[in-house]
Amino acid sequence: MSALPEAYGAALERAMVHATNWLASVPTRSVRPQSDADQVAASILPRLPDEPADAAAVVDELAALAEPGLMAIQSGRFYGWVMGGTLPAAMAADWLVSAWDQNAGLRFATPAAAAIEESAADWLLDLLHLPATSDVGFTTGATTANFVGLAAGRQHLMDEAGWDLEGLGLSGAPRITVFAGRERHAAVDLALRYLGLGTCVPVDADREGRILPDALDDAMGEQPGPAIVCLQAGNLHSGAFDPMADSIGVARDRGAWVHVDGAFGLWAAASPKLRERLAGVELADSWATDAHKTLNVPYDCGLAIVARPEAMRRAFSVHTSYLIATDAGPGDPFEKVPEMSRRARGIPVWAALRQLGRNGVIDMVERLAENARALADGLSSIPGVEVLNDVVFTQVSVSFGSDERTRRITQRLMAEGAVWMSGSSWQGRNILRISVSNWSTDDADVAASVEAVRRAVEQEPEA
Ligand SMILES: *Cc1c(COP(=O)(O)O)cnc(C)c1O
């Protein structure tokens, strides 16, 4: 018998110490990393040593070399790229997922993982007001969740057209046209590329980036045939939601599959205050969202939700002649994602939901939106600052006048390190983009963040 507890004990204890030290440093440390990747790389042994090392010593070495190159994404003043932090129960659950080492593909082989993920999925569908009979796949993120939803759509349309996708592939198949707003996320284009569906038809959007249902109708009229309409819940720059009910109505009239990319914005459906902004979203066929953004679980965790389990499972099951019985049951986890083997990444989702409870999820989502509103109000009071979007959710896009000045202020802000916000461009302008995604951001963080922007603005004279 191997001495398992002895083999792991010291290393895990060191990991606990380093994790605690890291988390303790987050509130006061610079948000930005102190070293770049090349500098960190220079501190790593260039050649793998021949001899084994003590596990606890490896953990110490790793923590020491990583520390200067860590971005404080856990900080309440990190507003980059819609990235969330991590709720305590979700982080601890993630450690257990590693300790338990379940390969979460098969229901009978890893029953606890399957049951806990199914429970998380049921809670999620209920929270987001999506059809309770939907299949949920736990993916690596929203890019793969979009891939899964769109793959189910492709499968469904090919089945409807009588085309044997599995046997014949796409060569010679009926062409599927994909329609999406011109301000869709690039992840949608990636997913379409993986699926061999080509480039989508970009549909006109309004100034907040919302697709125009009339323009969608016109575009679909010009290119009839099998179609997927890909809508967006949560525009990266404005936070805006495509008009769901009207767009889905247009798509339905033309027999299209409707997929929604709601990587961070789908969570607005949990809030009674915000839900009306995506009214009708539950009428779509598939949805992609992230748990590692708005829900604040560790990377990597996305959710692919499909209202038609048979399309999902025909697309991802490995049983070549697999047919779904009428009472499909929960199915095996691997029938809902591209991977056969994977970690039980749904367990931290369960833990996050259990920690927050229904009201806690609603409060957290509403607080993110309130903090975005407060940041926008605070920034608007600084001379020379223009908030460009209608702040309807967690996103704030800001200009400081000319593109050049906006770029310089963004760089100054990043170099100072009190906050992290992303430089971007939107509708032909350089902007500073703020994404409020961290559960721990509080009023003090908001006030300190407004002051950080004020300092940068004051140091950068208008041209
Ligand atoms: C982040 C994001 C994605 C991609 O999600 P990943 O989890 O990074 O794969 C897709 N769409 C939108 C709207 C996003 O914000």
Per residue in 398-435, pLDDT tens? 999 999 999 999 999 999 999 999 999 999 999 999 99
Q: Which residues line ligand 1 (CB under 6 A)?
A: 82, 141-143, 185, 187, 234, 236, 261, 263-264, 290, 302
Amino acid at site 6 = E
Ligand 1 centroid–CA 234 distance in Å is 10
**Alpha carbon distance 109, 267 (integer Å):** 32
Q: Which of 185, 297, 303, 426 to mutate to test the pocket of ligand 1 (most atoms within 8 A of CB)?
A: 185
What gap in Å lies between CA 79 and CA 393, rounded to an integer? Answer: 14
The CATH homologous superfamily to which domain 365-458 belongs is: Aspartate Aminotransferase, domain 1 (3.90.1150.10)
Q: At what angle do helices 346-380 and 111-127 cross, to 10 degrees?
A: 30
Q: Indicate which residue's Cα is closest to atom 12 of ligand 1.
A: 263
Q: Given the CA of residue 184, which atom of ligand 1 is nearest to it?
A: 13
Give CA–CA dist 26/1, Å, rounded.
Answer: 41
Check if CATH label 3.40.640.10 holds for domain 93-351: yes
- Tell how far the Cα of 289 is from the centroid of ligand 1, in angstroms: 8
- pLDDT digit string (tens) for the chain, length 463 residues: 566 778 899 999 999 999 999 999 999 999 999 999 999 999 999 999 999 999 999 999 999 999 999 999 999 999 999 999 999 999 999 999 999 999 999 999 999 999 999 999 999 999 999 999 999 999 999 999 999 999 999 999 999 999 999 999 999 999 999 999 999 999 999 999 999 999 999 999 999 999 999 999 999 999 999 999 999 999 999 999 999 999 999 999 999 999 999 999 999 999 999 999 999 999 999 999 999 999 999 999 999 999 999 999 999 988 644 444 434 678 899 999 999 999 999 999 999 999 999 999 999 999 999 999 999 999 999 999 999 999 999 999 999 999 999 999 999 999 999 999 999 999 999 999 999 999 999 999 999 999 999 999 999 887 6
388 phi/psi in degrees, rounded to 5: -90, -20
Ligand 1, residues 261, 281, 337, 397: which to mutate, most atoms within 8 A of Cβ? Answer: 261
What spacing in Å lies between the alpha carbon of 13 and ligand 1's midpoint? 34
